[in-house]
Amino acid sequence: MRIQLTLTPKERECIFPINYQYPLSAALYKILSSGSPEYATFLHKRGYLSPSGKPLKLFTFSRLWSPNIKRFQSSLIIRNFDPCRLMITSPMLEDFVQNFVFGLFERQTLEIGGPHSVGRFLITNVETLPEPEFGHSVIFKCLSPIVLTTMHIYKNKLTPYYLRPNDERLNQAIQHNLMNKHQTIFGHSPADDELTFALDQEYVKRKGGYDKLSKLITIKEGSTSQETKVKAFIAPFKLTGSTALMRVAYECGLGDKNSLGFGMIEKVN
């Protein structure tokens, strides 16, 4: 299920970090904890164990959207109390969604804080969005950047490698990622597990090539011991094949690090 929040700044000049994914994720966990501290702790500390052995959170969220968000030095700013939109999605109706909605009734504010700025918002509207229908071939756009990783040896250490949008392993990595999520949610593989991923090549050309699709995003900005750089990309794309896997991508997010606000997608009508 997909929930859309309208966030109205509490100050005339609302300033918050450019790299707001991690503090925004922390703010959403606070809302979830207001609905159920036990579930929030379970999700944060453990999560749902997938067949691959990797714990999954099974939710994601979009970037903040407003036509009036501007860059201000090393931060972002919204002026004159202009509202912005935020979407959150999860397939776990009786766990995540129910407890998150309970938390919204208890906590009607949201703060996005960093080392240099804190944006404070009132949650002024909450609505659920209908799920679209999925056919054999569907075009999607990104509501937040996509991250996909694999492990490789670098300087004699096993480290994550972020797949680029033109990496030949991307299609297989996306299919395996969604299969893993489907098995975690439902306990079995879908009847149809064939899926292909294809970027919009006209968009790639207009942007000036694959390198122009990439974004470097900082997680835990300002922390000397935990700050990390994440390589992600944004582009329209087409999924062809399994509608069950498309639905998982729509409800959980595509790729990795979904609970940090990566991989939220929307069907293009």
Tens digit of each residue's pLDDT (9 = 90 or more) over 101-118: 999 999 999 999 877 789
Tens of pLDDT along 243-266?
Answer: 999 999 999 999 999 999 999 999
Q: Given pLDDT bands bounded at 50, 70 and 90, which one contains residue 240?
A: very high
CATH code, domain with 253 = 3.30.70.1900
* Residue 213 falls in which region: left (phi positive, over 0), alpha (psi -120 to 50) or beta: alpha
Q: Determine the distance from the C-alpha atom of residue 63 to the mean position of all C-alpha atoms in its chain, rounded to a whole number.
A: 8
Q: For residue 210, what are its two tokens?
A: 């694959």
Buried (b) or exposed (e) across 65-103, using 16+ Cβ within 10 A? eeeebeeeeebbbbeeeebbebbbbbbbeebbbebbbbb
Looking at the chain, the whole-number percentage of residues with pLDDT higher than 90 is 86
Residues 6+ apart with CB under 8 A from 106: 34, 35
**What is the model's pTM?**
0.94
Tens of pLDDT along 13-49?
Answer: 999 999 999 999 999 999 999 999 999 999 999 999 9
Q: Looking at residue 213, what DSSP letter applies?
A: G
DSSP for 5-71 reads EEEEESSSEEEEESS-HHHHHHHHHHHHHHH-HHHHHHHHHT-EEPTTS-EE---EEPPPB-TT-EE
Compute the average pLDDT of residues 212-224: 88
Q: Do 154 and 105 have their domain in common?
A: no
Q: For residue 93, what are its two tokens?
A: 């109706």
Q: Do 88 and 196 have their domain in common?
A: no
- CA dist 165 and 149 (Å) reads 12
Distances (CA, A) of 118 to 24, 28, 131: 11, 15, 33
Q: Do 122 and 208 have their domain in common?
A: no
Question: By C-alpha distance, which of 143, 150, 183 is closest to 167?
Answer: 150
Element (H, E) at 98: helix 98-106
CB 254 within 8 A of CB 174: yes
Q: Which amino acid is at 105?
A: F
**Whether pLDDT at 86 is above 80:** yes
Q: Do 125 and 206 have their domain in common?
A: no
Tens of pLDDT along 128-183?
Answer: 999 999 999 999 999 999 999 987 777 777 788 899 999 999 999 999 999 999 99
Which residue among 129, 160, 184 closes a domain?
A: 129
Q: Do 144 and 76 have their domain in common?
A: no
Q: Do 180 and 245 have their domain in common?
A: yes
Rounded to a whole number of angstroms, the CA Rg of the chain reads 18
Q: State the greatest distance between any 2 C-alpha atoms of the chain, in Å, as a whole number.
A: 53
* Domain of residue 61, residue span: 2-129
